[in-house]
């Protein structure tokens, strides 16, 4: 067995997650034989870029966290969800527009805002109707459509969702530096992190051992990766050539 040490910035983690997602059987099957629906979100935008080759990730965003606080991108500057049907990109549609056609084996990809201490994805809600997750969660559960939530390890929170569940909603805040929100956990969803990506791509095991940094490594995660000689060698070369050096997420303009 060989050991690999690697530090990934948030952008590098997003790129790795996207490549790992695209390598999974579930996403490949949905992309080739059914519907793959990639809803708005920064991490999920990298998956769309991986599939299409060229894509304006800054438009694939609705809610966003920026230095001033939780915000939203102005609706008129956003893209639609990225919908793929049997490999074909369908422009100008949202998941809600095709809910009636979805079935078991199809996949909805929805970026998460947090991963709680029990590895349950959490979504912040800035819409009184529940946003995109509110528009499809019930239908997806009813029809056994797979929901995958890509989320970087930088978004891990050290508490269970239950510790703040029902403690606040959009209108409950006395003060809010940024947009007031509610929150919902989605235990039905499958979280997908950098750890899962390395497993999907190379069959290696990864463990986060440190987090944070400076000089552009703010939000970084450091991983201890273990596997057999060949797989660790392949992972090492891949990380150096395909992941390290990924530029930060482009500046998002038109943030309300």
pLDDT of residue 84 exceeding 90, the answer is yes
Q: What is the pLDDT of residue 3?
A: 98
**Which of 41, 43, 22, 44 minimizes the C-alpha distance to 31?**
22
Residue 256 belongs to a domain: no
Residue 155 belongs to a domain: yes
Q: How does residue 256 score in pLDDT terms, banded at 50, 70 and 90?
A: confident
Q: Quick: pLDDT tens for 111-159.
A: 999 999 999 999 999 999 999 999 999 999 999 999 999 999 999 999 9
Residue 251 belongs to a domain: no
Q: Quick: pLDDT tens for 221-233.
A: 999 999 999 999 9
Residue 39 belongs to a domain: yes
Find the domain containing 173 and state its range: 2-243
Distance separating alpha carbons of residues 116 and 165, to the nearest angstrom:
12
Q: Quick: pLDDT tens for 189-241.
A: 999 999 999 999 999 999 999 999 999 999 999 999 999 999 999 999 999 99
Q: Quick: pLDDT tens for 34-60.
A: 999 999 999 999 999 999 999 999 999
Q: Are the beta carbons of 243 and 16 closer than 8 angstroms?
A: yes
* Beta-ladder partners of 124: 183
Residue 70's CB is within 10 A of a number of other CB atoms, namely 17
Distance separating alpha carbons of residues 12 and 64, to the nearest angstrom:
18
CATH number at residue 55: 3.40.50
Distance separating alpha carbons of residues 32 and 160, to the nearest angstrom:
37
Q: What is the pLDDT of residue 178?
A: 96
Residue 143 belongs to a domain: yes
Residue 249 belongs to a domain: no
Residue 28 belongs to a domain: yes
Residue 250 belongs to a domain: no
In the chain, how many domains are there? 1
Q: What is the pLDDT of residue 104?
A: 98
3-state SS class at 226: strand
| Global pTM exceeds 0.95 | yes
């Amino acid at each position: 067995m060989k050991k690999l040490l690697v530090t990934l910035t948030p952008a590098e983690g997003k790129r790795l997650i996207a490549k790992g997602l695209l390598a999974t059987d579930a996403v490949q099957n949905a992309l080739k034989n059914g519907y793959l629906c990639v809803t708005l979100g920064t991490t999920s935008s990298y998956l769309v870029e991986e599939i299409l080759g060229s894509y304006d990730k800054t438009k694939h965003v609705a809610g966003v966290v920026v230095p001033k606080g939780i915000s939203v991108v102005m609706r008129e500057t956003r893209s639609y969800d990225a919908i793929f049907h049997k490999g074909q990109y369908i422009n100008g549609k949202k998941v809600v527009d095709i809910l009636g056609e979805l079935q078991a084996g199809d996949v909805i990809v929805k970026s998460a805002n947090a991963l709680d201490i029990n590895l349950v994805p959490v979504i912040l809600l800035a819409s009184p109707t529940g946003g995109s997750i509110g528009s499809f969660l019930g239908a997806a559960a009813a029809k056994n459509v797979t929901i995958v939530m890509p989320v970087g390890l930088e978004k891990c929170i050290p508490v269970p969702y239950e510790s703040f569940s029902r403690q606040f909603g959009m209108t409950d805040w006395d003060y809010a530096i940024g947009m007031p929100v509610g929150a919902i956990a989605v235990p039905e969803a499958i979280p997908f992190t950098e750890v899962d990506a390395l497993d999907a791509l190379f069959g290696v095991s990864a463990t986060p051992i440190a987090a944070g940094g400076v000089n552009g490594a703010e939000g970084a995660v450091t991983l201890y990766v273990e596997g057999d000689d060949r797989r660790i060698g392949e992972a090492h070369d891949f990380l150096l050539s395909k992941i390290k050096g990924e530029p930060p997420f482009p500046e998002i303009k038109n943030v309300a």
